[in-house]
Amino acid sequence: MSLPVKPLAGVTVLELGTLIAGPFCTRILAEFGARVIKIESPDGGDPLRQWRKMYEGTSLWWYVQARNKESMTVNLKHPEGVEIVRKLALQADIVVENFRPGVLEKLGLGWEVLSDLNPGLVMVRLSGFGQTGPYRDQPGFGAIGESMGGLRYVTGFGDRPPVKTGVSIGDSIAALWAALGALMALRHREVNGGRGQVVDVALYEAVFAMMESLVPEFDVFGFIRERTGNVMPGITPSNTHTTRDGRHVIVGANGDAIFGRLMRALDRPDLAEDTSLATNAGRDARAAELYGVIDAWVGARNMEDVLRILKEAGVPASHIYSVADMFADPQFVAREMLQSMTLPDGKVFRAPAVVPKLQETPGGVDSPGPALGAHTREILVGLGYDDRAIDHLREVGAI
């Protein structure tokens, strides 16, 4: 039985980017069948190769972030290297880049040049502040996008400075918007007979777009959302509680019927039947009282008992998972969310599986992140370069 064709099979993507936002965007496309050619500097390649925990000299993060991709080394400061990229862009459907605005233009690889060569090209441009505006030339990493986009301001406790999430969430959010924008642009090109176009993703805007009711609440009421720790005013009860054995449990019972089930499970039928608590607004007005009740009940029991009782009562609850918990959890196993991959020396390791899950044409992992320049010769041959020409490019430092 043959494997199903992936939904992006036949789409060619040229990646001109490093680290997180751009490469994560192309990773998503590669997982669903796009051919992704990653252009790397001959001088060490993507810095992500050396980030965080290393295995035999290469980052484990790299093997996940660059899976299913091809690596080609090109010196973008050499005219013959630039010419190679132009030829690749001529054959590409999508170019993804996350340089500072104006850098590609200086190299002779800007939108106007590549679009003239390939009118159907979609160019996804990720940057800190976008391609226009007074901040366009400023450097902007994900942390800056999270700060300016509003996420950092509302994260943490009110009596302490803002805190970051434990991952590079700003870059990842931008990557998701970029992948979505690329697919919308392809849809326009292929269904509506349109030309290619630029997809302009600014990190601060990608984060800002996730800020729920932040803007209208300020505009209408002058209300500024502040840090509130593990609770969100107006949505009660939903909080983190600590069990007798020192584990942390989230209990989400802000639905009207769910609240009643929670209070009965806590042996508080009086609160379940209190009409003043029948709606979210009423519960929110007595949030401190309710959280005190839940805190006391959870704190008197071990985590296993807390979760068992709440599950039986139909109340959403979970302990806060570490990665070790994920490896042991039957839901992760049943949904095959721990994908096995093989390192170059044959060692098998597990990584996050591909999401979302498509029923008929699922994505998948075919190969881990490649060695630097592993596909350079193969790609050049596909462009029409013979051995002599390839040797010349190496000699002059173009690849």
In angstroms, the CA 232 to CA 322 distance is: 23
Q: How far is CA 224 from CA 103, 134, 137, 216, 219, in A?
A: 37, 25, 29, 10, 9
Q: Which pair of structure tokens corresponds to residue 391?
A: 């040797």
CB-based contact 349:340 (threshold 8 Å): yes
Q: State the SS3 of 219-243.
A: HHHCCCCCCCCCCECCECCEEEEEC
Q: How many residues does the chain have?
A: 399
3-state class percentages of the chain: helix first, strand second, coil last, to nearest 5:
40, 15, 45
The strands making up 248-252's β-sheet, listed across from edge to edge, are 238-242, 248-252, 317-319
Catalytic residue among 171, 219, 295, 345: 171
Q: Work out the number of other CB atoms within 10 angstroms of the CB of residue 382.
A: 13
Amino acid at residue number 75: N
In angstroms, the CA 267 to CA 117 distance is: 71
Catalytic annotation on 386? no
- In a 13 Å sphere around the CA of 14, the CA atoms on its Cβ side amount to 22
* Residues labelled as active-site residues: 171
